A and B are shown apart, each in its own frame.
With several copies, the nearest count.
Chain A
Amino acid sequence: MYNEKVMDHFEHPRNQGAIEAADGTGEVGNAQCGDIMKIYLKVEADVITDVKFQTFGCGAAVASSSMATELIKGRTLAEAWELSNKAVAEALEGLPPQKLHCSVLAEEAIHTAINDYRTKHGLEAWEETGSHTH
């Protein structure tokens, strides 16, 4: 059902864990739907110097979290904001259609974490463009 890349990220998740006193955190999803993703950001001079995730969810949810955190690590917040769910899914070399929503969750979790950072720092929250590819 999942390709090797997805299984690799599921079984050996990168950046799994929590960051105490993170500069920004974002939690999306809900247990009822079977997916919760929480992203922790460490930000220095607008650059994401560290990122961790915690995920309750299926293989695709874990793999998407893992991949998404890899993709934004070391990037500026503006770059990280641009990460689309599609890019996450592509980096994973594809997800089953019914699992694409997991990559959306990752995008949303990152956005939430970034805006958490921004509002904490007195900046305006960026606005969602709402163009997820399902």
Chain B
Amino acid sequence: MNTDKRLVYMDHAATTATRPEVAEAMLPYMTGHFGNPSSLYDLAKASREALEEARERVAAAIGAEPKQVYFTSGGTESDNWALKGVAFAKKEKGSHIITSVVEHHAISHTCEWLEKQGFSVTYLPVDRFGMVNPADVEAAITPETILITVMMANNEVGTIQPVAEIGAIAKKHGVLFHTDAVQAVGHIPVDVGELNIDLLSLSGHKFHGPKGTGALYIGPGVRLDPLMHGGAQERGRRAGTENVPGIVGLGLAVSLAVADMAENAERLTALRDRLTAGLLAIPHTYLNGHPDKRLPNNVNVVFEFIEGESILLLLNRYGIAASTGSACSSRSLDPSHVLMACGLPHEVVHGSLRLTLGEETTEADVDYVIAAVKEVVQRLRDMSPLTPPELRSQSIGGDKICITRR
């Protein structure tokens, strides 16, 4: 086993480090300018101004107006708010929601809960690349439909959905359109106007902003109940003392992410493709998600005959941080619903590996990961009862696993 103590973080879709300059920008609002922004004394002025500057920054990043941006505690809250908020506000008008089978649990579990409250939900299928067909969206619309929610980019397989087409359909039928853009904002261009988006969720820690911060874009004329009832913060729509330091960090992080986005995306796409090619050179390995309509930083593959948690544990020994859709590594013990929805058989889903790159990822990292994965996959295939003989390693001794022949 390789004992190189290099650290290669390839789980940027899970979370990212807060940029040092973002953390630094937050500090003054923790200890010094700590005033409650809604107070009228001078101490509150700095927090109030910082709040509004952050709102402008988030708005600019998604082509919105500042007053359409509402701060939340993260992507999960934004998703819950959008869905429950619209559902409860519109329940007199209708009770049907359209979504897809590849949404994040923040959407799908919310939909399931709403079903228990009497709403009906259509879960649209996807093709083998994880892509929703806009025609399916249109076909699912009924007079009862109050909301369509389809994510902008998938967190597991990286597939970018045809959001513009879905937005146009929603508009044509006068149905509200929400998109979970948690994996998209800061990574690919997002413009709520061009895409006909009524509601959009984003989360700070996915683009080197602070954890526990997010926002919901609410377009003009959209009515929704609060998820957080209480004080009159956020123009009465989202109660709770504002997390000013977090919001400042979110604002700065999104600005920085968007500023470097095009350049970064180009570099990451090249690295992504290099990594993909390297991994697909391993026999019985397949790419998940769309070959090119995908996030610039996402690689997701399956290796036949082996299980993902084992892959992660061994990669960890190489200092590589990654993720899998295997049931064994999820707390719910269910295999990835996204990979299943793409048509992968159960047993293969367990052998998936997601590697998501970031700004600091280098070509050397990619090559190191390719080499490590090769070793790990071989080692586990040697151990697996499923591996066909021709894939087993013949080497004996060393740290390698050897097949006992008697």
From B317, B326, B385, contact of A58 by CB (8 A): B326
Provide the residues of chain B in CB contact with A55, threshold 8 Å: 383-385
CA distance A57 to B40 in the complex (A): 16
CB distance from B392 to the nearest CB of A (A): 10
B327 touches A17 (CB 8 A): no
Nearest neighbor of A50 in chain B, beta-carbon distance: B406
Cα A133 to Cα B10 in complex, Å, equals: 38
Digitize B379-390: 1 where CB-to-A-CB distance is under 8 Å, 0 elsewhere. Answer: 000011110000
Q: Which of B369-406 contact A (CB under 8 A)?
A: 383-386, 401-406
Indicate if the CB atoms of A34 and B350 lie closer than 8 Å.
Answer: yes
- Distance in Å: Cβ of A15 to nearest Cβ of chain B: 8
User: Which residues from B are CB-within-8-Å of A31?
Assistant: 346-347, 350, 386
Q: How far is the CB of B263 from chain A (nearest CB, A)?
A: 38
- Among A18-26, A81-89, A111-119, A124-132, the one that faces the other chain is A18-26
A34:B307 contact, CB within 8 angstroms: yes
Evaluate contact between A38 and B331: CB separation under 8 angstroms. no
Which single residue of chain B is at the shortest CB-CB distance from A38? B385
B403 to A17, Cβ gap below 8 A? yes
| CB-CB under 8 A for A56 and B404, given A27-B385, A34-B335 | no
Is B329 part of the contact surface with A, judged by Cβ < 8 Å?
Answer: yes
- C-alpha spacing A7/B40, complex, angstroms: 12
Q: How many angstroms from the CA of A2 to the CA of B48 in the assembled complex?
A: 13
* Contact call A56/B305, Cβ cutoff below 8 A: yes
Query: Is B77 part of the contact surface with A, judged by Cβ < 8 Å?
Result: no
Q: Inside 8 A of A11's CB, which chain B residues have their CB?
A: 1, 313-314, 317
Contact A56 to B403, CB < 8 A, known contacts A11-B1, A31-B347, A34-B328: no
Quick one: given A31-B346, A62-B310, are A56 and B385 in contact (CB under 8 Å)? yes
On chain A, the residues within 8 Å of B401 by CB distance are 13, 16-17
Q: How far is the CA of A35 from the CA of B309 in the complex (A)?
A: 11
Residues A56 and B384 in contact in the complex (CB < 8 Å), given A17-B404, A32-B347: yes
A123 interface hit (Cβ, 8 Å)? no
Residue contact B327 to A18, C-beta cutoff 8 Å: no
- A residues 14-73 near B (Cβ < 8 Å) are 16-21, 27, 30-38, 42, 50, 52, 54-62
Q: Are B328 and A19 in contact (CB under 8 A)?
A: no
A57 touches B404 (CB 8 A): no
Considering only CB atoms and an 8 Å cut-off, how many residues of chain B contact the other chain? 31
Choose among B305, B333, B383, B403 the residue with the greatest number of A CB atoms under 10 Å from its CB. Answer: B383
Judging by beta carbons under 8 Å apart, are A20 and B383 in contact?
A: no
**B399 to chain A: closest residue by CB:** A12
With A20-B406, A31-B347, A31-B386 already in contact, the answer to whether A58 and B328 are too (CB < 8 A) is yes
Residues of A within 8 A of B335 (CB): 34
Nearest B-chain residue to A2, judged by Cβ: B313
Instruction: Kindly identify, within residues 1 to 54 of chain B, every residue whose CB is under 8 Å from any CB belonging to chain A.
Output: 1, 40
User: In whole angstroms, what is the CA distance A32 to B328 when docked?
Assistant: 11
B306 within 8 A of partner (CB): yes
Contact check, A57 vs B403: say whether CB atoms are below 8 A apart.
Answer: no
CB-CB under 8 A from B346, the residues of chain A are 31-34
A39 vs chain B, min Cβ distance (A): 10
Structural contact, A54 and B313, CB atoms closer than 8 A: no
Among B328, B347, B402, residue most surrounded by chain A Cβ atoms (within 10 Å): B328
> Could you give, for residues 298-312 of chain B, a 1 whenever the CB lies within 8 Å of some chain A CB and a 0 otherwise?
000000011101100
Shortest Cβ gap from A64 to chain B (Å): 13
Q: Which residues of chain A have C-beta atoms less than 8 A from B317's C-beta?
A: 11
- In the bound complex, residues from chain A placing their C-beta under 8 Å from that of B310 are 10, 57-59, 62
> Is the pair A16, B383 in contact by a Cβ cutoff of 8 Å?
yes
Whether the pair B404, A54 counts as a contact (CB closer than 8 A) is no
A-side contacts of B347, CB under 8 Å: 30-32, 34
Bound complex: CA A27 to CA B385 (Å): 9
Q: Cβ of B40 and Cβ of A19 under 8 Å apart? A: no
Chain B residues whose CB sits within 8 angstroms of the CB of A18 once the complex forms: 403-404
| B345 cross-chain contacts in A, Cβ below 8 A | 32
Mind listing 10 A-B residue pairs with CB under 8 Å?
A2-B313, A11-B317, A34-B328, A34-B347, A38-B385, A54-B384, A55-B384, A55-B385, A56-B386, A57-B328
Q: Which 3 pairs, one residue from A and one from B, show the smallest C-beta to C-beta distance?
A: A31-B347, A58-B328, A17-B404
Sample of 11 more A-B contacts, CB < 8 Å, known A36-B386, A52-B404, A60-B328: A11-B313, A31-B350, A34-B327, A34-B335, A55-B383, A56-B307, A58-B310, A58-B328, A59-B310, A61-B307, A61-B328
B residues near A (Cβ < 8 Å) are 1, 40, 305-307, 309-310, 313-314, 317, 326-329, 331, 333, 335, 345-347, 350, 383-386, 401-406
